[in-house]
Amino acid sequence: MKKLLTLAAAVLLNMTAAEAETPLFDEASSFQIAKAVKLGDSADDMGTGGRVVKKAIDLALCQSDSDCSETQKCEKKRCVKVCGYAACTGTTPDCTAENHKAVCKCTEASCAAGYKCGTDGSCVKCEAGEKCGCSGSQVSDGNGGCYCTGASECPAGQQYSSAECACVPYKEGEKGNCPGNSVSDGAGGCMCGASESCSAGQNWNSTLCQCESCKAGDNSGCENPCPAGTLPDGQGQCSIFACATDADCGAGQQCKNPATSSAECIACEKDTPCTCPEGQLANGEGGCTTPACSPTKECPAGYECQNPGLSDATCVPVDAGEQGNCPAGYLANGEGDCVKPECSSNSDCGAGYECKNGGTLDAACVPCDEGAACATCPSGQIATGKGGCKVACTYNSELACKSGTNYCSACAKDGDGCYACSGCQSGYYKDGNGCSACSKLDANCTACSADGCTACKSGYKAVNGKCVSTQCPGCSSWDDSANACVAKANCCSSDSDCGDTQQCSNGQCINIVCGVACHVPGEHKCVKQEGCCTADSECAGNEKCSSGKCVPVSCPKCQEAKDHVCTAIAKCCTSDDQCGSLQKCTNNQCVAVSCDTAKGYTVSNHACVPAACPAGYATATYDGHLITASYCQGSNMDYKSDGYSGGIACGKCVSNGSSSKPSTPRVCSSHADCKAGYECSNGGYECRVCKAGSNLSAGFDNCNCPAGTYSTGHGGCSSDVCPQGRSKVYNNRKNVWECP
């Protein structure tokens, strides 16, 4: 405060006399700083929050703007900012200090909608279509306003919002633009309140939410049909009608004033299709008729359509003599028939006739006048007058005829009064109306008639008007009774004159005798007989010549026919003895004997047998006798066997504790005592069925089966069974079934 008083005193000392009148504590001096600090209105000199800035020259007193800075002005003898509080407002809020004055300009945000900030700092109108602060989807209209582009029509249940430039839903329940009695559903559509109950003859329109009349006269499409005997009247009521549509009337009738109280069925206009079935027309009396003819339905041949295309159209006969619809070349006879005229030109008539009234119903072929040059007569002939033609007279006298006809000896008059040659000189015959030499008939003819030759030159004879040579070939001679050459008996001039098995020799046919084997007569010579042979070389390699025929060579097993004889097949066998001692013959092949030597067996004599009898067993004799079941029984002993050795049973007699023979005799002492498919069991008291796939000789268990077979397991042996009961498999390469 002390500093402020000191500053104020200094100012007062410098004031001029004129300024002495200014109050000591006016706003321009004493309270300026305090006010500025308190109000926070000093621009560059004071800070915010009541804090005084050190620089305070802006508060200097002034007499004019020139005493202040460029951004200040002198106001009430003090320098203040030209862009102070509320210096620029409204559409030009942007303040700029220029030459101690505030210059106000617009901003992009200060201009009203439809305006924009111009280059001079003022708001100017936007061009049409620019956004320019317009709300929503609106754009500038070019006149300082905003508007929405596009159509503003909205569907039912929606209204146009100029702010959004789009259709928006009415509030639910508002009528808006919903049709009929419907209201807005609040979602952009329309809805009905509670549906009404419609009367008979009415339908509910869910779009308009109201009852509407059914189609007049149509009960079928009515939700609330009218009672029996009534129909919708189209006004929402039911009425009794004589007819509602043409279908309610009969064929040939139509409904007048349909579905009204004055409705009635009336006759259709005559000759119209109206309600008639297809192809029929109304007769004008309430009925329909089928026209007998029309432009598309022709009448039968000989008839024509009268009143075509009308209900009373009918087919009537074509006028006589007219062609009408008759086929080409025919004419109508006026009675409904088509007839063909007898002729239409002379060419339709026979010789000597001409066509009169050609091409009409009266046309007829009539005889040409006698002697006339009839068009249908051949050239040089004239009409007879009776429907024929004749040659015009060449000669009218006998003298003229004879002199005018070469070699003619006589002339006669015919029925037409003309003369013609009737006889010819010797050596000539009558040929038409003239005479021709006999040589014309045959070069060897010497006398003739119109029927042919009657005499011939020497060496020829007239036969049936022809000259036939009487000179016959070597094996034939002339026969006058037959008037022909006849063959001499057994005569020939070549082989062709003889039979197929003969030859011509010295003019005689003789039988051929063949002295070569397999040759027989044929084709006039000896030919080899097909299929015949004289030596093996003439037969195939697997055939031989026997009794003059090639027959197959029959070979035993393990042999095949080759070069006409049987030769052995390599590695083929029929019995074990044809194989090595360690092999056996199986399926005609020598194969190794299968034997388990690790279990005390060995191969002997083509079979697998024990290598030796166990201790206590023997293979030969016991007490000088062969050890067999019968021997042991005779000794009041039981026989016990234990396999084979070299094909001989290994056995021994054991005590049975009895001094007499066993009550039940033993049936076997070895497996060989049992039949095929069985093995000795139970101490020799029974032969039991072997299990499948067993064969003692092959080294598989103890079954007594022939070589190459195995037990079936049912008391038999078969080559179709494999060792140990395994099944055969098919070998595709060999095309055979075999054991695995």
Provide block-wise average pLDDT over 10 residues at a time, the chain (740 residues). Answer: 40 36 38 40 38 44 89 89 85 89 89 89 89 83 84 84 83 85 85 79 84 84 84 82 84 87 88 90 91 86 89 90 89 91 90 90 91 86 86 83 89 83 87 85 84 87 88 80 81 82 83 81 83 83 85 84 83 77 82 77 72 56 44 56 51 58 64 84 79 84 86 83 76 72
Q: What distance in Å separates the CA atoms of residue 144 and residue 127, rounded to the nearest whole number?
A: 9
Is the separation of the CB atoms in 574 and 557 below 8 Å? yes
Task: State the amino acid at position 371 in one-letter form.
Answer: G
Which residue matches tokens 């015959």? 429
Instruction: Give me the CATH number covering residue 406.
Output: 2.10.220
- In a domain? residue 675: yes
In a domain, 602, yes or no: yes
Q: Which of 436, 454, 469 is the last residue of a domain?
A: 469
For the purposes of burial, counting CB atoms within 10 Å of the CB of 662, is it exposed (0-12), middle (13-18) or buried (19 or more)?
Answer: middle
Give 308-315 contacts, CB < 8 A, sequence gap 24+. 309/271, 310/271, 310/281, 311/270, 311/271, 311/281, 311/282, 311/283, 311/284, 312/283
Q: pLDDT at position 735, please?
A: 65
Do 585 and 451 sit in the same domain of this protein? no
Separation between Cα atoms, residue 519 and residue 512, nearest integer Å: 11
User: Tokens for 575?
Assistant: 């019995």
Same domain as 452, residue 582? no
Task: Give yes or no: residues 464 and 580 share one domain.
Answer: no
3 state SS of 90: coil
SS3 of the chain: helix, strand, coil, percent, to 5: 10, 30, 60
Go through 248-260 and write b for each residue having 16 or more CB atoms within 10 A of its CB, e for each that does not. bbeebbbbeebbb
How far apart (Å, rounded) are the C-alpha atoms in residues 566 and 563?
8
Assess whether 591 and 706 both reside in one domain: yes
- The per-residue pLDDT for 22 is 35
Indicate whether 580 and 723 sit together in one domain. yes
Judgement on whether residues 607 and 729 belong to the same structural domain of the protein: yes
Closest by alpha carbon to 596, among 699, 696, 695, 693? 699
Residue 535 lies in a domain: no
For residue 592, the tally of other CB atoms under 10 A from its CB is 12
Q: Tell me, yes or no, whether 462 and 588 share the same domain.
A: no
How many angstroms separate the CA atoms of 341 and 140, rounded?
A: 100
Looking at residue 276, its pLDDT comes to 93
Supply the pLDDT for residue 7. 40
**Within a domain: 207:** no
12 assigned to some structural domain: yes
- Burial string for 159-170 (b: 16+ CB within 10 Å, else e) reads eeeeeebebebb
Considering the domain architecture, whether residues 583 and 711 belong to the same structural domain is answered as: yes
Whether residue 201 is contained in a domain is answered as no
Sign, Cα dihedral of 530, 531, 536, 539: positive
Which residue among 440, 469, 498 closes a domain? 469
Domains held by the chain: number: 3
Q: Same domain for 581 and 465?
A: no
To the nearest 10°, report the CA torsion of 224, 228, 232, 235: -90
By CB neighbour count within 10 A (0-12 exposed, 13-18 middle, 19+ buried), where does 210 fall? middle
With respect to residue 233, please indicate whether it lies within any of the assigned structural domains. Answer: no
Among 105, 129, 149, residue at a domain's last position:
105
Q: Which segments within 483-568 are labelled E, that is strand?
A: 484-487, 502-505, 508-511, 519-522, 525-528, 543-546, 549-552, 559-562, 565-568
Q: Can you give the pLDDT at residue 364?
A: 92
Which pair of tokens denotes residue 640? 């016990």
Q: What is the pLDDT of residue 487?
A: 77
Could you tell me if 718 and 586 lie in one domain? yes
Domain annotation covers residue 581 = yes
pLDDT (0 to 100) of residue 643: 53
Q: Which of 171, 169, 144 is nearest to 155 (CA)?
A: 169
Q: What CA–CA distance (Å, rounded) separates 51 from 382?
A: 166
The one-letter code for the residue type at 182 is: S
Q: Which residues contact 273 (CB under 8 A, 6 or more apart)?
A: 280, 281, 282
pLDDT, residue 20, reads 34
Give the other-Cβ count within 10 Å of 559's Cβ: 16
- pLDDT for the residue numbered 267: 93
pLDDT at residue number 721: 82
d(CA 105, CA 93): 6
Residue span of the structural domain in which 435 resides: 398-469
8 Å CB contact between 410 and 422:
yes
Identify the residue whose tokens are 């009204």: 260
